Structure 1
Amino acid sequence: MNSESQIIRTEYSDLMKKSYIDYAMSVIIARALPDVRDGLKPVQRRTLYDMHELGIRYDKPYRKCARIVGDTMGKYHPHGDSSIYEALVVMAQEFKKGMILVDGHGNFGSIEGDGAAAMRYTEARLTKFTQEVYLSDLDKDVIDFGPNFDETEKEPAVLPVRIPNLLVNGAEGIAVGMATSIPTHNLGEVIDAVKAYMKNDEISTKQLMKYIKGPDFPTGGIVVNKDDLLQIYETGQGKIKVRGKVEAEELKGGKKQLVITEIPYTMIGSGIGKFLNDVAALVESKKASDIVDISNQSSKEGIRIVLELKKGADVENLKNMLYKKTRLEDTFGVNMLAVANGRPETLGLKAIIEHHVDFQFELATRKYKTLLAREEEKREVQEGLIKACDVIDLIIEILRGSKSVKDARECLVNGVTDNIKFKSGISKKMAAMLRFTQRQATAILEMRLYKLIGLEIEALQKEHDQTLKNIARFEDILNNYDSMANLIMEELDSYKKEYGRKRRTAVENAEEAVFEEKKIEEQEVVFMMDRFGYAKTVDVSVYERNKEAADSENKYIVHCMNTGKICMFTDTGRMHQVKVLDLPYGRFRDKGTPIDNVSNYSSSEEQIVMVCDAEQMRFARLLFATRQGMIKRVDGSEFQVAKRTIAATKLQEGDRLLSVCVVNENQNIVMQTKGGYFLRFPAGEVPEKKKGAVGVRGMKLQKKDELEQVYVLEEGTEVKAVYKEKEIALNRLRIAKRDGTGTKARG
């Protein structure tokens, strides 16, 4: 064995545990959660920085998103183009962000859930807000840069964001074992809260909430649980109830219409389509019978969903129904989780502002240290040039007498005159006294002759005076907390003045939405279904008047209550339930609705063998018979279930349910096969089983024969069957035992 190779023995579970924890932390820190300092996830940070590096500023032309995505992926984010483009799109969607960070050009999706166009079609550039508030001072060493994934580029560890972006734009992310969900807030309110904290770092969350009233969603809406917000902002967790904004408008003729102009933030996307479907379902089920028409008139100008109402409709009750039964009132789950000091942490409102302010002081300290160092360099050079102007004749003499730049530099810096020719000894003595710095010497050697003009020397002096003022100012900022704090607050005020806007979301305490459902008047109706599967219900009197036509035109007719359910047994052994109220109720000649539309029944896959009223079935015994001759009795109460579809019986392989009918012990059963065998026996011989049982054999079948019909005979009633055009009186058949071969009919 090679002496350098090693075999490390380790427990497999320990290795898996370590590997999984490493993976989980990578997802948490480097992908899914935002940093508390700049409020950005890595993909967002990298995309914005790349746009900055590419020079796609707010005052420059738009560039193709494909270029931005490709460049970001190649340099900083090697996790696939779709994640980068999705992040770019979201930063450009004003209905998702408190302040958009990217100015999109082209189709960037809509509030109703339409996706953005492919990145080869869309274009983008940074907004002025992003450029000034998120990406300024990158050249002043305000943040740390680290190597990218392949160590060929440098990328920022964090962007120098000047506002608490985590609050302004919120965040959503799913990591491993944790998730973040932070609502958006109003820029002006957040800035006021930051200033209040800077003036008094002992401020409480309750006092901060005098400035930040609550979330400010880009879609507007109303937060209705104001009293819960303090607890949410203190702990960083909780549930915010959000409602859409509904207004009642008067129409001609005393009619009214409800207009939804703002939606809950959670309804962005497919939620609007779902809401319209939910309202339509309420209308169809007669729960919102006051609604006559629904139309979505939303456009680029904003949301406008119109519900036209009947004359005299109860508007308040209808509003409450929409809040209660649809997503017009929804819950936004808050979990303010972010990466703080390199680890995930759930933060309250004050903690987020505290981290932000610490970050601002760090940015300002690094910025003004860099600026101070630059000004001190300038001062050094300026002082050297001013001093040089005073002895310019000597310097010219030194330069003319030098054989090389090195000799001239040595003389200017250290007073070395050995290799230089002077016109006089006085000049040589004066030259030996020169002590310029290296930087000053370089500036003197590079100075152009026009700088010796009187006005230029005067300008140099003024510039020097300004440099001294700047140094004094920067030193004051760096050494005085109040000076730096005032500077940060002035910057914040300028951002509020230029970019602040009015609050969109109202925050209030609203009463729980309560609505009274109209009680349905219970009445007996007749269920009718034709051979094409179209079903409806009519009043009993309507049925009685049209009895002959109804019986001839419909395959199934069942008397039931309008508040009850209809049960349908199919040849696949399933039972489907339909609420009678889900079926259209009206005139005899109405077509009805396909039974497939209101139940789980599929006419293409199964055939109905029996239809009955669920309530009447409760007290009955049901006889089940299959094509292979299996038979059993089941208590009807077993089918009193809430589910829309259940397995009504167990079938053997290749078998189908043939018949389900009500039976009692005093009756006789006749089973008829396709081959013409008839078997009559007492119903009492059929054992009672559970619905999940296969049952017992009712009749011995001949090879390739199968059961075709099952009859239930009442004592003293004559029943005839037809086999090969010959009538057979079933009540005259000999009574035999169950599981017999039966009597062969003569064809």
Structure 2
Amino acid sequence: MSDMPMLPEEDESVSLRDYAEKAYLDYSMYVILDRALPNVGDGLKPVQRRIIYAMSELGLKASAKYKKSARTVGDVIGKFHPHGDSAAYEAMVLMAQPFSYRYPLVDGQGNWGSADDPKSFAAMRYTESRLTAYADALLGELGQGTVDWVPNFDGTMDEPSVLPAQVPNVLLNGTTGIAVGMATDIPPHNLREVVSATIRLLEYPKSTLDELCEHIQAPDFPTQAEIITPRDEIKAFYRSGRGSIKMRAHWRKEDGAIIVDALPHQVSGAKVLEQIAAQMQAKKLPLVNDLRDESDHENPTRLVIVPKSNRVDIDALMLHLFATTDLERSYRINLNLIGNNGRPGVKSLDAILREWLEFRTETVRRRLQYRLEKVLKRLHLLEGYLIAYLNIDEVIHIIRTEDKPKPVLMQRFGLSDAQAEAVLELKLRNLAKLEEMKIRGEQDELEKEREQLELTLGSTARMRTLIKKELLAVAEQFGDERSSPLVAREEAKAFSEKELMSTEPITVVLSEKGWIRAAKGHDIDPTSLSYKAGDNFNLAAAGRSNQSAILIDSTGRAYTLPTHNLPSARGQGEPVTGRISPPPGVGFKALLLGDERQKILLASDAGYGFVTELGHLMAKNKAGKAILNLPNGSEVLPPAQVPPGDDLLVAAVSTEGRLLVFPLADLPELARGKGNKILSVPSARVKSREEMVKGIAVLTQESRLVLHAGKRHLTLKVSELDHYRGERGRRGSKLPRGLQNVDYLVAEHPDAT
């Protein structure tokens, strides 16, 4: 410590750097140790401890009459805590709010704030207060030699350095605080759970954290909102001392509306409604029709959210609100406190309980030792009283005749100084009342108590039993059921922009020259729309406005376009290349619109293909993504939609007039690739474009296959396709004369709309 800079004395000079460093270090240590962090013993910061002690000195026990809060604050700042009265009063208010403290220490009368606005409490000149019954668990043993006393700020009186807490209050009520270079965030816990874990550790000192977590499953806040953090994550922050925990509002359905009846800790219902209303005004929440706050005295929290209609997915709506409002909130965990050694540190749950048990054991030992000394002192005096009683006449004679009777009594009867002093201080009437039986009776009782005290002090097992018994008594008196249930819930997820859109039926139309637009409804004839000079209809697809359109070009790449902002079909649209970036000179072979889980059959005219979902075709960037690998010389075929059902069939027809039908199950399901052979076409003839697959279709057992060749067409039921059935990859069978030059084929499903 010789190199530690000292403050200047008289003419001694110190560099400004050393002086500032020393001053800031002193200030930092003061803030850490004497203001911001709680003590592991009683779980209180100095201001809280001083408020509780000052109230007890004013006689404000739970059974006393209420007294003006200003009186308490005056004593606190005048005798123990020389800081601002508003700071002391706010600390006092916090300990009185049942929605802030799991086990309040102050019983307030008047306006002490509300859960909706904790800062709305009345001034201290209006409110009244006294201690709660639970505060006695911290103060009950204060005058029994249990803790050290230190001088107050001006040295005129003493105050306890820590309160002799009978339970681990540091975990029960938790605390938050910001010091210099460190902070603390200790969540509250359930008294019965903490006592149960403490007793487990008391009885089995080698208990692991996992074993203690069987008793303490999670923090327990003063609200019925749900804790949704997984047990493994909770154990992780109990082990490291740092982490976070999530709480989610409790809600239920009532007459088609959503009723929120419990909010996360320290969340304002008014603020939540403001957050939801802001989304509604910004047209980002079209699913909600109305909001109401029906909270009253009987229902402290009752927020009503009315959906737009009964078709709204309420569960999905609530997941969105959890993700975007304070209906779900995360709380930082930082188990930083001052240990028994007087130093701050971040500790694990088991380390906190072990330290507290050390503190409690020492407190109980000091209490018993203090009582034992009292008992021994009283026994010593009773022994002197008994001698005086048995020799009462001689004692009175000595007192009457001697100038200094004390040394004479000590010499004559072998009394100690304390015994002689006690005999001399007895009033004459008490001497007359002294009875041998009463003295001996009190001696017997005190001897038994002395024996028990010495046995307990000399036995670790007896000490543990006593601590356990006292812990159980406090748990029995103040314990309650868990307030915040621990529940596994689905992760909150905000709606995407697409999910929040209206879901109107639309038809997307693409022209030959790549101009795209969207028309409302499905009863649109795309060929009847107006097109620019030299341009004509190319592709169309029907779907809904919250679905994305998928374009497939001639190279097998897929592109995704949101449909809600496409230009109206009343005009002629806009170039699709303004929204996507296909390679120069490519054309578009397919336009798809539907649910991401919708399956399609994707194939090339070389005769290869596979089954995939629309979701696999969706690309995030403007350049799209490669989906179908094309053999040399081949092109993309228009995809075939896969209808729901079993025993589906694939029908493929070639330019040679050959038709092959086989089970769809023979083709693989892929996200991208070339696929497997559907219908056999010589690769050389594909390169020269002499022969290729003309079209594909997917059939159910009830479907009909319609083949179009010029002005002629042929409709076949599935039962009439037996002649064309074969193994996947075969050449297929010839179609009747006149239908061998097929232009296209269509699958007609009986349930198609």
Asked if TM exceeds 0.5, the reply is: yes
Letter in structure 1 aligned against 2:280: V
* Counterpart residue number, 2:743: none
1:431-472 Cα offsets, whole Å, 9 max, x none, are: xxx212222223333345555679943222111100101111
How far does residue 205 in structure 1 lie from its aligned partner after superposition? 1.0
The answer on 1:119 being equivalent to 2:124 is: yes
Aligned equivalent of 1:504, options 478, 483, 486? 483
CA contact (8 A) 1:227 1:509 kept: no
Q: Distance in 2 between matches of 1:454 and 1:7?
A: 70
1:418-437 Cα offsets, whole Å, 9 max, x none, are: xxxxxxxxxxxxxxxx2122
Within a 5 Å distance, the mapping from 1:100-179 to structure 2 comes to: 100-113=104-117, 114-130=119-135, 132-179=136-183
Within a 5 Å distance, the mapping from 1:56-135 to structure 2 comes to: 56-113=60-117, 114-130=119-135, 132-135=136-139
Letter in structure 2 aligned against 1:281: A
Letter in structure 1 aligned against 2:329: D
CA contact (8 A) 2:321 2:494 kept: no
* Counterpart residue number, 1:222: 226
Q: Distance in 2 between matches of 1:64 and 1:167?
A: 30
Q: Distance in 1 between matches of 2:165 and 2:316?
A: 47
* Counterpart residue number, 1:292: 289
Q: Distance in 2 between matches of 1:521 and 1:105?
A: 52
Cα separation, partners in 2 of 1:204 and 1:151, compared to 1, 3 Å: same
Q: Distance in 2 between matches of 1:88 and 1:372?
A: 36
The answer on 1:258 being equivalent to 2:258 is: yes
**SS of residue paired to 1:293:** strand
Letter in structure 2 aligned against 1:159: L
1:249-303 Cα offsets, whole Å, 9 max, x none, are: 1x2xxxx111111111142xxx432211121133334443332221112234421
Aligned residues: 505
Q: Distance in 2 between matches of 1:28 and 1:453?
A: 60
CA contact (8 A) 1:451 1:457 kept: no
Cα separation, partners in 2 of 1:322 and 1:79, compared to 1, 3 Å: same
CA contact (8 A) 1:266 1:332 kept: no
CA contact (8 A) 1:214 1:229 kept: yes
CA contact (8 A) 2:228 2:488 kept: yes
How far does residue 15 in structure 1 lie from its aligned partner after superposition? 3.1
1:147-188 Cα offsets, whole Å, 9 max, x none, are: 111111212111111111110000011111211111110011
How far does residue 215 in structure 1 lie from its aligned partner after superposition? 0.6
* Counterpart residue number, 1:366: 366
Aligned equivalent of 1:305, options 298, 303, 307? 303
Within a 5 Å distance, the mapping from 1:643-662 to structure 2 comes to: none
1:325-350 Cα offsets, whole Å, 9 max, x none, are: 21111111101111122222001111
* Counterpart residue number, 1:317: 316
Q: What's the TM-score, normalizing by structure 1?
A: 0.64
**SS of residue paired to 2:286:** coil
* Counterpart residue number, 1:489: 468
Q: Distance in 1 between matches of 2:578 and 2:73?
A: 65
Cα separation, partners in 2 of 1:9 and 1:174, compared to 1, 3 Å: closer
Q: Which structure 1 segments of 5+ residues have no match? A: 416-433, 525-538, 542-561, 564-580, 583-612, 619-747
CA contact (8 A) 2:389 2:434 kept: no
Q: Distance in 1 between matches of 2:84 and 2:92?
A: 13
* Counterpart residue number, 1:675: none
Q: Distance in 1 between matches of 2:398 and 2:19?
A: 74
CA contact (8 A) 2:139 2:165 kept: yes
CA contact (8 A) 2:244 2:332 kept: yes
Within a 5 Å distance, the mapping from 1:568-607 to structure 2 comes to: none
Q: Distance in 1 between matches of 2:312 and 2:478?
A: 44
* Counterpart residue number, 2:325: 326
How far does residue 616 in structure 1 lie from its aligned partner after superposition? 14
Q: Distance in 2 between matches of 1:155 and 1:246?
A: 47
Q: Distance in 1 between matches of 2:40 and 2:181?
A: 19
Which has the larger share of helix?
Answer: 1
**SS of residue paired to 1:507:** coil
Q: Which runs of 4+ in 1 moved over 4 A?
A: 448-455, 521-524, 615-618
Cα separation, partners in 2 of 1:509 and 1:227, compared to 1, 3 Å: farther
Aligned equivalent of 2:207, options 203, 207, 211? 203
Letter in structure 2 aligned against 1:499: F
* Counterpart residue number, 1:22: 26
Q: Distance in 2 between matches of 1:50 and 1:266?
A: 28
Q: Distance in 2 between matches of 1:7 and 1:49?
A: 42
Cα separation, partners in 2 of 1:261 and 1:452, compared to 1, 3 Å: same
Q: CA RMSD in A?
A: 2.9
* Counterpart residue number, 2:656: none
Q: What's the TM-score, normalizing by structure 2?
A: 0.63
Letter in structure 2 aligned against 1:126: L
Q: Which structure 2 segments of 5+ residues have no match? A: 1-8, 506-518, 522-544, 547-563, 566-573, 580-753
Aligned equivalent of 2:278, options 281, 289, 303? 281
Q: Distance in 1 between matches of 2:14 and 2:462?
A: 61
How far does residue 390 in structure 1 lie from its aligned partner after superposition? 2.7
Letter in structure 2 aligned against 1:319: M
Cα separation, partners in 2 of 1:80 and 1:96, compared to 1, 3 Å: same
1:368-394 Cα offsets, whole Å, 9 max, x none, are: 111111101110111222233333343
Letter in structure 1 aligned against 2:477: E
CA contact (8 A) 2:166 2:474 kept: no
Q: Distance in 1 between matches of 2:85 and 2:278?
A: 40
Within a 5 Å distance, the mapping from 1:347-426 to structure 2 comes to: 347-400=347-400, 402-404=401-403, 406=404, 408-415=405-412
* Counterpart residue number, 2:452: 473
Letter in structure 2 aligned against 1:305: L
Q: Distance in 2 between matches of 1:412 and 1:9?
A: 65
Q: Distance in 1 between matches of 2:352 and 2:224?
A: 24
Letter in structure 2 aligned against 1:233: Y
CA contact (8 A) 2:94 2:100 kept: yes
Q: Distance in 2 between matches of 1:386 and 1:403?
A: 21
* Counterpart residue number, 1:735: none
Q: Distance in 2 between matches of 1:509 and 1:227?
A: 12
**SS of residue paired to 2:143:** helix
State the percentage of identical aligned residues. Answer: 36
Cα separation, partners in 2 of 1:479 and 1:264, compared to 1, 3 Å: same
Within a 5 Å distance, the mapping from 1:529-540 to structure 2 comes to: none
Q: Distance in 2 between matches of 1:179 and 1:15?
A: 26
Q: Distance in 1 between matches of 2:75 and 2:10?
A: 41
Letter in structure 2 aligned against 1:303: T
Q: Distance in 2 between matches of 1:119 and 1:521?
A: 54
